[in-house]
Amino acid sequence: MEESIQYKTVIPINGDPYKTIAKDGMPIYLVSEYLKDCQRTSSKFSNTAYTYVTNLLPFFRWLDSQELTIEDITLHHVKSYIEFLRQQDLTQRTIRQYGGAILRFIRWCMEPDDAEKLLYREKGRPIISRGLLTSINRGEMAGLRDCLPKVRRNLPEVMSQEELNKIRAWISETYQDDPKLSTLYRCIIEVLFGAAVRRGELLALRIDSFDGKNLLVKNIPENEFDVSTIKKIGASLKTGERKLPLDSYTAYWIHRWKTECRPAKAHHLGHGFMFTSLHPDRYGQPLTGEALRWLLNRINHPQYGAGLKRNIHPHLFRHTWATLAIEGGVSLTSIQWFLGHTSPNSTQIYTHISDPTITMELNEWRKQKAYKYFGLNEVDND
């Protein structure tokens, strides 16, 4: 299955915009409206909205092969499509991803009275009833997710302190003859770990995001850059703006990069991004996701890298910070806010590392307070 949307061979049917289709039966107008709503609920330049729409392509291919339109489908058709996915050479996770995308889209197509809104509207903006799917009701929608395969979430990997120190030492040794490049790479590593930002959030940081103590993860001004430019850089913001209080070590490396090493040409170019390239061909221009991958590939290199036993990726620093915070007694609410998780369920995955800590806290609580209520003091004394 292709992973891209190609709007080709556009065929208007009786002038009805809802039935205007593109390649593989994709209704352009309808999907375009869905994409706009997805973008309203995620960040302006996030890939999440595009992923939702891309995952619809196999569904519309299937509808086209069945000579159906979106208005024709019933609960039976949705279940038939999920069964069709099961028969393909796809992983359980991919089947759930494609199936989940269809359920989101169907809920969006239904009238507000038929199902809870998937996408929340901006305040003051009227809700327009689409009413395309009158043959599927709210009760039936509730059970559709049970048709998708259950996928067990993998526990997140974490780095050891030794591995993190190896990376720091490797950067210092490898780039000892180039202080600016050494500072840039060291600052990137410290921000990935100390601020626990996502890859896209790192690349989206602006020069004014740092005030000396805090790091503001914020949206890129829409009027300054077009979507293609942001996509090329790889910058994105997944879950909204937040102000992160930094530790002094991370703040030191950001300050050092900003004041001593960031090219003056970056200021003259006026793009405002914090991290810039030091390569002669792109000197002073925004650092891209490709450049970040190059650095991590160098760190992971079996011969010339940092000598680690695992491959390092940006999210691994985030996992490590979250796990250390849990083990250090930071509340899940605070960690959820710091990481930018919209749901506490996303933060809950880090608690598996802290089972001994939880056990110790429970035992201590029982000894100090609970036993007085449960009358177990006598048992303890035996």
Higher pLDDT, 158 or 4: 158
**Can you tell me the distance from the alpha carbon of 202 to that of 292, in angstroms, rounded to the nearest whole number?**
10
Q: How far is CA 252 from the centre of its chain?
A: 27
**Can you tell me the distance from the alpha carbon of 3 to that of 55, in angstroms, rounded to the nearest whole number?**
8
Nearest to 109 by CA among 174, 27, 44, 169: 27
Residue 349's pLDDT band (boundaries 50, 70, 90)?
Answer: low
Q: Two tokens at 155?
A: 């526990």
DSSP for residue 217: E
Best mean pLDDT range from 9-13, 62-66, 307-311: 307-311
**Amino acid letter for position 319:** H
- Predicted confidence (pLDDT) per residue in 120-155, tens digit: 334 444 444 444 555 566 666 667 777 777 766 666
Note the pLDDT of residue 182. 95
- What's the helix, strand, coil split of the chain in %, to 5? 55, 5, 35
Note the pLDDT of residue 189. 95
Does residue 298 register a pLDDT over 70? yes
pTM: 0.64
Residue 116's pLDDT band (boundaries 50, 70, 90)?
Answer: very low
CB distance 43 to 240 below 8 Å: yes
**Can you tell me the distance from the alpha carbon of 36 to that of 222, in angstroms, rounded to the nearest whole number?**
15
List the domain boundaries for the chain. Answer: 11-147, 161-315, 324-374
Does residue 374 register a pLDDT over 70? no
Note the pLDDT of residue 148. 79
- Predicted confidence (pLDDT) per residue in 186-199, tens digit: 999 999 999 999 89
**Can you tell me the distance from the alpha carbon of 199 to that of 209, in angstroms, rounded to the nearest whole number?**
16
Average pLDDT taken over every residue of the chain: 76
Q: Which residues are paired to 286 by β-bridges?
A: 276
Higher pLDDT, 301 or 377: 301
Note the pLDDT of residue 328. 76
- Predicted confidence (pLDDT) per residue in 191-230, tens digit: 999 999 989 889 989 999 998 889 988 877 767 777 677 7
Best mean pLDDT range from 79-83, 169-173, 329-333: 169-173
Higher pLDDT, 113 or 286: 286
Superfamily of 161-315 according to CATH: Intergrase catalytic core (1.10.443.10)
Tell me which residue has tokens 């740092």: 210
